[in-house]
Amino acid sequence: MRLILLGPPGAGKGTQAQRLIQKHGIPQLSTGDMLRAAVALGTPIGKRAQGLMDAGQLVPDEVVIGIVADRIEEPDAKKGFVLDGFPRTVAQAEALDAMLAEKGLKLDCVIEFKVDEDKLVSRIERRAAETEAAGLPVRKDDNPEVFRRRLEEFRHLTAAVAPYYEAQGVLKSIDGMQPVDDVTTAIEAIIG
Ligand code: AMP
């Protein structure tokens, strides 16, 4: 099964991806997590990405496309994957199509999280507070100012990705404002 979770930052994609990996045993491919790991390790990609990530801006397409191309070659991704946070531009979606076509593979479906974007800022503030309360490090870009920039990047660049997949007939939408368990149920109903 090859799935994409699509939606603005803070929509709950990461939480649902975690549940999907537990239930279906396929890996979560989160470009955000991969980039944060590269930043932590101080790799050349990490150094290139850090300032943009801290500012809530997108990392250049060729950087993330390269990361995903390498990642889907790994053995655990052979049986499928859940992409979370990629593609974020139409160019990334086109590159993914080309990568899969080269292997004779196709996406099963793209699940779009429909959310009330005005409510996301308070959601992200809560996420930061809960993370802090749990004694875990809070993401630098989980503060209202940077978050607003991330939301702008979504509206400006990522919003065009859903129509791209709609035209391919693989887009399914769910209400991402429901309680977490109900979102999971809606996803399971789609993927059967
Ligand atoms: P996320 O964890 O998905 O919210 O991603 C955190 C940050 O990593 C984003 O704000 C971007 O700076 C960068 N990033 C993650 N995925 C991508 C992507 N597919 N394209 C460009 N930048 C990305």
pLDDT in tens, 56-70: 999 999 999 999 999
Specify whether 13 is catalytic. yes
Yes or no: say if 111 and 4 are a contact pair by the CB < 8 Å rule. yes
Indicate if the pLDDT at residue 5 is higher than 90: yes
Judge whether 68 lies within some domain: no
Residue 39: what residue type? V
Q: Whose alpha carbon is nearest atom 14 of ligand 1?
A: 32
Whether the model clears a pTM of 0.85, i.e. scores above it, the answer is yes
pLDDT in tens, 105-149: 999 999 999 999 889 988 888 888 999 999 998 888 888 899 999
SS3 sequence, the chain?
A: CEEEEECCCCCCHHHHHHHHHHHHCCCEEEHHHHHHHHHHHCCHHHHHHHHHHHCCCCCCHHHHHHHHHHHCCCHHHCCCEEEECCCCCHHHHHHHHHHHHHCCCCCCEEEEEECCHHHHHHHHHHHHHHHHHCCCCCCCCCCHHHHHHHHHHHHHHHCCHHHHHHHHCCEEEEECCCCHHHHHHHHHHHHC
pLDDT in tens, 6-52: 999 999 999 999 999 999 999 999 999 999 999 999 999 999 999 99
Specify whether 139 is catalytic. yes
Nearest C-alpha neighbor of 123 from the set 147, 88, 139: 147
Judge whether 69 lies within some domain: no
Judge whether 31 lies within some domain: no
CB of 7 sitting under 6 A from ligand 1: no
Gap between the Cα atoms of 132 and 99, Å rounded? 39
Question: Catalytic residue among 48, 114, 139, 149, which?
Answer: 139
Judge whether 130 lies within some domain: yes
Specify whether 150 is catalytic. yes
Residue 120 domain boundaries: 2-26+79-191
> How far is ligand 1, taken at its centre, from the CA of residue 46, in Å?
12
Domain count, the chain: 1
Judge whether 55 lies within some domain: no
> What CATH number is attached to the domain comprising 111?
3.40.50.300
Specify whether 48 is catalytic. no
Q: Which atom of ligand 1 is nearest to the CA of 92?
A: 19
> How far is ligand 1, taken at its centre, from the CA of residue 35, in Å?
8
Judge whether 125 lies within some domain: yes
pLDDT at site 138? 87
pLDDT at site 55? 96
> How far is ligand 1, taken at its centre, from the CA of residue 58, in Å?
6
> How far is ligand 1, taken at its centre, from the CA of residue 59, in Å?
7
Judge whether 178 lies within some domain: yes
Gap between the Cα atoms of 85 and 65, Å rounded? 12
Percent of the chain clearing pLDDT 70 (strictly above): 100
Judge whether 74 lies within some domain: no
